Amino acid sequence: MMLDLLITGGTVIPVDEEGSVYDPGLVAIKGQEILYVGPAGEGLPADWKARRVIKAENKLVLPGLVNGHTHAAMVLFRGYADDLVLQEWLENKIWPLESKLSAEAVYWGTLLAIGEMLLAGITAFADMYFFPDAIAQAVAEAGIRAAIAPGLIGVSPDAAVRLREAIGFCQEWNGAADGRITTMLGPHAPYTCSPEYLAQSLAAARDLEVGIHIHLAETETEIKQIKDQYGVSPIAYLCQQDLNNLHILAAHCVHLEEADIDLLAQNNIHVVHNPGSNLKLASGIAPLPQLLGAGVLVALGTDGAASNNNLDILEEARLAALIHKGYSGQPTVIPAAEALKMATANGAAALGLAETCGRLQAGMKADLIIVDREQPHLYPRFNPLSALIYSARSSDVDTVIVDGKIVVEGGELCTLDREKIMYMVESHAQKLLR
């Protein structure tokens, strides 16, 4: 149930262009939208009264975090096949289990992933996977926001059928759950989608007015394969297509030449950096400072929990800030404010939701989190942004609000049965091994 809410007394970080911090600040929520964000004691309409006041003293109030790239139901494989080379991991471990998946297993796996993400302060995520109707059902029930892309493997025997089904999914679900569900098409990667199949997917997305979610330039093996086959890089391979009037979310973009970075910037392709997964699979380190320097919008993602092994965007933000300092030898690259922006406003933009969420601003959807500062690792209190990126833990998240509805309170899920979901996931995971 939605209530008109007033959040008072907290340190409010709206993630706006001015880098504002209101301490103390106010956030007023009317229905699904933010009514006011700013200093305490000013700005609220005189005739507006909150039905509930949330006292946020000793807490941080900020936009909900955004997971820009994941495969939520892959929580079913968490810890099953670790410490392997990517191709062995995929071909010998993950793909055989995925061939046994059912819609029911994906539904429960997605619910577990959503519960994990909500508890970690993630209010929106971009998902690419199979059985998209089951994913959408889980999203609708849980109260989170998601951009769902049916995964499309162009080299599979039923690729044409899957594309038709994906189009039907987009037509049915785009804008569902009071607008919390948006859709994309998910051609998996250049090495699994021929130019013809990729062109068909792009044309369908343009007709449907939805975005594209694709893996790009993740491994050196991919780079070599595409260059051997087509004579260009994976980025150039995509950009040879007609990208006019298309929103593109490109996951990974690890192995890039300078010309690739220029193409990403020129074509307004949104990149999702997945530092944890890329490190674990030894895929490499994406040239994040160079991407940002070229004006490419970069968000953060966890990838699936089978290759991470958690769904924690605060952890990804910290990794992004730390790795690139060490790798570049420049302690000033990816400062805390930039990392937080990638985890919030940039994430929303990558999902095609820049005008919906990712910032605390009047008129935007009320997607926000409250983080408890009464923790030993968050004292003393010098810089709240630094505290978030370098010190905070996802377990510090106290309250999560999506679309004006409280979905986590006091660190507990309000919309999901945690124990039942964990039981069902364990049951389905064991069935997959038989």
Mean local confidence (pLDDT), 113-119? 98
Instruction: Report how far residue 119's alpha carbon sits from residue 196's, in angstroms, rounded to the nearest whole number.
Output: 42
CB contact set of 313 (below 8 Å; sequence gap of 6+): 65, 66, 67, 120, 121, 122, 300, 302, 343, 347
In this prediction, residue 30 carries a pLDDT of 96
pTM of the model: 0.98
pLDDT band at 434 (very low <50, low <70, confident <90, very high): confident
pLDDT in tens, 248-279: 999 999 999 999 999 999 999 999 999 999 99
In this prediction, residue 229 carries a pLDDT of 96
pLDDT in tens, 382-408: 999 999 999 999 999 999 999 999 999
Instruction: Report how far residue 371's alpha carbon sits from residue 59's, in angstroms, rounded to the nearest whole number.
Output: 5
Whether the predicted pLDDT of 378 surpasses 60: yes
In this prediction, residue 40 carries a pLDDT of 86
Instruction: Report how far residue 39's alpha carbon sits from residue 105's, in angstroms, rounded to the nearest whole number.
Output: 47
Mean local confidence (pLDDT), 234-241? 98
Mean local confidence (pLDDT), 333-360? 98
Where are the domains positioned within the chain?
A: 5-63+365-413, 65-350
Q: Which one is predicted more confidently, 19 or 1?
A: 19
Instruction: Report how far residue 143's alpha carbon sits from residue 402's, in angstroms, rounded to the nearest whole number.
Output: 7
Domain 65-350 has CATH 3.20.20.140: yes
CA 13 to chain centre: 20
CB of 130 closer than 8 Å to CB of 107? no
In this prediction, residue 43 carries a pLDDT of 77
User: How crowded is the C-beta side of 148, counted as CA atoms within 13 Å?
Assistant: 35
Beta bridge partners of 67: 125
pLDDT band at 2 (very low <50, low <70, confident <90, very high): low
- Please state the CATH superfamily assignment of the domain spanning residues 5-63+365-413 in this structure: Urease, subunit C, domain 1 (2.30.40.10)
pLDDT in tens, 59-90: 999 999 999 999 999 999 999 999 988 778 88
pLDDT in tens, 19-31: 999 999 999 999 9
Q: Nearest CA to 56 among 42, 45, 40, 44?
A: 40
Residue 427: burial class (beta carbons within 10 Å; 0-12, 13-18, 19+):
exposed
pLDDT in tens, 143-181: 999 999 999 999 999 999 999 999 999 999 999 999 999
pLDDT in tens, 310-325: 999 999 999 999 999 9
Mean local confidence (pLDDT), 228-257? 97
Whether the predicted pLDDT of 1 surpasses 90: no
User: How crowded is the C-beta side of 104, counted as CA atoms within 13 Å?
Assistant: 7
